[in-house]
Amino acid sequence: MTNEKSPVRLTAVDKPGQPLVSPELEELYRGFEKEMLVPLWIEISGLMPQHPQSKAQPHLWRWNDILPLAERSGDLVPVGRGGERRAIALANPSLGGRPFVSPTLWAAIQYLMPGENAPEHRHTQHAFRFVVEGEGVWTVVGRDPVPMRRGDFLPQAGWNWHAHHNATESPMAWIDGLDIPFQYETESQFFEFGRDEISDAERTTPERSRSQMLWGHPGLTPIGAIPAAPGTPLLSYRWEHTDQALSDQLELERLGFDGVVEPGHAAVRFTNPIGGGDVLPTIRAEFHRIRRGAETAPRREVGSSVYQVFDGSGVISVGTEKWSVGRGDLFVVPSWQEFTAKSEAGSTDSDSGGLDLFRFSDAPIFEALNLHRASN
Ligand code: 1HN
């Protein structure tokens, strides 16, 4: 018999490491249930596994399947106050249908129709946008309109006011990454509505943001500027710089010099121009380019990552899963599951001659707490 009223349910079992089953033991367990107590000897293996046992599972979302649904949402769902954003989250199949791609990370496809405005607000969640195709939206962060174009990475630390507007005749899609599940589980979130309409001055479409004019020059820190918030003051990392950095690494390798992380694999991390750390307090972002035919060494890491294929094609394996991937596809690598990427010619029509992968992860959380480990 269990204690019907208690959410604690304890079963005496005849197993090594467990006490001898007896009516007295059952009686003790009913006492624990009544007093809301759980003994460690029943729980230990689940609470303290020998290595991370991710609740999340590896999963792939194909761009060609999810983009049409975002487009359809553009027809059917208005964007405005209340819903705030036409953002559609990737839900990890083993996280109970919650809009969580991993236990710490949120990833969504967002869609904005011609002329539309997503209203201003701010929240403690740290966020970024990444653009896999298209252009024409300006994200207005702290009243600074920032253009968004293919390949651009746009981080935006928590508590910055932000709105988006599409200034063109075409709809635009991009992906958002945030630390929503982390802040949800740790009960640390705050949110505020901003103005319903941004001013005409903010609805302009400058080629470069004020942030980029101030902070976007490699190795040059403006002496007169005081960054207000945590996280990077540079609000956009332009594709032409990322692309050049990656192709230069592979060119150096071809010429016989050092610089790549492993053979045929160039990689860069997006960093804060102040101090060189991660762009956001809870989120790390990187770009990887794998030369055609090359494969990364198997790797495990504490914490979860989400990747989007920016260009090219290849084969990805995560834990026991294996997928052929192409442009726009998104997948999640749960904590401590083995990951490899192989660059391979595929059937995608556009192909850079390699596999280009955008990656974000929750590594800064674990590094800050001395909990980060990687297998190589
Ligand atoms: C948000 O503010 C954005 O600003 C995207 O684009 C996704 C998901 C939940 C809460 C706020 C954005 C979001 C979000």
Say if residue 353's pLDDT is above 90: no
pLDDT in tens, 295-318: 999 999 999 999 999 999 999 999
Cβ of 176 less than 6 Å from ligand 1:
yes
Cβ of 139 less than 6 Å from ligand 1:
no
The pLDDT mean for the chain works out to 95
Distance from the alpha carbon of residue 301 to the mean position of ligand 1, in angstroms: 27
Residue nearest to atom 14 of ligand 1 (CA): 85
Cβ of 162 less than 6 Å from ligand 1:
yes
The pLDDT assigned to 132 comes to: 96
Distance from the alpha carbon of residue 204 to the mean position of ligand 1, in angstroms: 22
- Secondary structure in 3-state letters for the chain: CCCCCCCCCCCCCCCCCCCCCCHHHHHHHHHHHHCCCCCHHHHHHHHCCCCCCCCCCCEEECHHHHHHHHHHHHHHCCCCCCCCCCEEECCCCCCCCCCCCCCCCEEEEEEECCCCEEEEEEECCCEEEECCCCEEEEEEECCEEEEEECCCEEEECCCCCEEEEECCCCCEEEEEEECHHHHHHCCCCCEEECCCCCCHHHHCCCCCCHHHHHHCCCCCCCCCCCCCCCCCCCCCECHHHHHHHHHHHHHHHHCCCCCCCECCEEEEECECCCCCCECCCCCEEEEEEEECCCECCCECECCCEEEEEEECCEEEEECCEEEEECCCCEEEECCCCCEEEEECCCCCCCCCCEEEEEEEECHHHHHHCCCCCECC
pLDDT in tens, 185-231: 999 999 999 998 899 999 999 999 999 999 999 999 999 988 767 88
What is the pLDDT averaged over residues 333-349? 88
The pLDDT assigned to 58 comes to: 98
Residue nearest to atom 6 of ligand 1 (CA): 85
Distance from the alpha carbon of residue 129 to the mean position of ligand 1, in angstroms: 10
Cβ of 372 less than 6 Å from ligand 1:
no
pTM of the model: 0.95
Cβ of 265 less than 6 Å from ligand 1:
no
Cβ of 131 less than 6 Å from ligand 1:
no
Cβ of 85 less than 6 Å from ligand 1:
yes
Shortest-distance atom of ligand 1 to CA 108: 7
pLDDT in tens, 117-163: 999 999 999 999 999 999 999 999 999 999 999 999 999 999 999 99
Distance from the alpha carbon of residue 268 to the mean position of ligand 1, in angstroms: 26
Q: Which residues pair with 311 in a beta bridge?
A: 356
- Higher-confidence residue of 197 and 264: namely 264
Say if residue 349's pLDDT is above 70: no
Say if residue 82's pLDDT is above 90: no
45 within 8 A of 59, measured Cβ to Cβ: no
The domains of the chain, with CATH numbers, are 12-48 (no CATH), 59-207 (2.60.120.10), 239-375 (2.60.120.10)
70 within 8 A of 88, measured Cβ to Cβ: yes
Distance from the alpha carbon of residue 85 to the mean position of ligand 1, in angstroms: 6
